[in-house]
Amino acid sequence: MIGMLRFRPEGTKTKCEVCGREAADISATLKVCAACIQERFEDARPHIEMAHAQVRRRYGLPAKAPKYPKGVRCGGCGNDCRIPEGGKGFCGVVENIGDKLVRRFGTPERGLLSWYYDPLPTNCVPADFCAGSSGAGYPKWCRTPRGDIGWNNLSIFMGSCTYSCLFCQNYGFRELTVSGKPTMTAAQLAEKADEGVGCACYFGGDPASQMPFVVKSAELMREAAEKKKRLLRVCLETNLSMSPESLRRFGELSMGSGGGIKADLKCWSSEILYALSGIEHRATYENFKWLGKRHHERPEVPFARASTLLVPSYVDDQEIHAIASFIAELDPTIPYSLLAFHPLYYMDDMPYTKREDAERYLRICKEEGLQKVRIGNPWLLC
Which CATH number characterizes residue 352's domain? 3.20.20.70
Note whether residue 83 is domain-resident: no
Note whether residue 73 is domain-resident: no
* Domain enclosing residue 279, as ranges: 110-380
Note whether residue 46 is domain-resident: no
What's the pLDDT score for residue 303?
98
What pLDDT digit, counting tens, does each position of 89-130 carry?
A: 999 999 999 999 999 999 999 999 999 999 999 888 888 889
Note whether residue 40 is domain-resident: no
C-alpha 217/C-alpha 337 separation (Å) is: 28
User: Which letter does DSSP use for residue 144 in this model?
Assistant: S
Give yes or no for a contact between 309 and 268, defined as CB atoms under 8 angstroms apart: no
What's the pLDDT score for residue 8?
54
Please report, to the nearest 10 degrees, the dihedral formed by the alpha carbons of residues 247, 253, 255, 256 taken in order: 160
What's the pLDDT score for residue 9?
60
Note whether residue 54 is domain-resident: no
What share of the chain in percent tops pLDDT 90?
95
Note whether residue 10 is domain-resident: no
What pLDDT digit, counting tens, does each position of 44-88 carry?
A: 999 999 999 999 999 999 999 999 999 999 999 999 999 999 999
CA angle 331, 320, 160 (to 5 degrees): 85
Note whether residue 359 is domain-resident: yes
Query: In whole numbers, what is the pLDDT of the chain averaged over residues?
Result: 95
Note whether residue 244 is domain-resident: yes
Quote the number of domains for the chain.
Answer: 1
pTM for this predicted structure: 0.95
The more confidently predicted of residues 249 and 1 is: 249
Please state whether the peptide bond connecting residue 62 to the residue before it is cis, i.e. omega within 30 degrees of 0. Answer: no
